[in-house]
Amino acid sequence: MNDVKHLVISKIKDGTVIDHITPGLAILVLKILGIKPKSSEAVSMAMNVESAKMGKKDIVKVEGKYIGDQELNKIALIAPEATINLIQNYEIIRKFNVKPPEVVENIIKCPNPNCISNSNEPIKSRFRIFLDESRVKAVCDYCGRKLINLEDYI
Say if residue 110 carries a ligand binding annotation.
Answer: yes
Q: How far is the CB of 139 from Zn ion (least distance, A)?
A: 9
**The only residue of 61, 74, 126, 137 in contact with ligand CTP, by rule CB under 6 A:** 61
Q: Cβ(140)–Cβ(112) under 8 Å?
A: yes
Site for Zn ion in 91-110 (CB under 5 A): 110
Say if residue 92 carries a ligand binding annotation.
Answer: no
**Pairwise CA distance, residues 106 & 117, whole Å:** 10
Q: How far is the CB of 135 from ligand CTP (least distance, A)?
A: 22
What is the pairing mode between strands 91-97 and 43-51? unpaired
Beta-strand ranges (E) seen in the chain are 15-21, 43-51, 55-63, 83-88, 91-97, 103-105, 126-132, 135-140, 146-147
**The only residue of 26, 30, 32, 59 in contact with ligand CTP, by rule CB under 6 A:** 59
In the shown chain, the binding pattern of residues 1 to 20 toward ligand CTP, with x for contact by CB under 6 A and - for none, equals ----------xx----x-x-
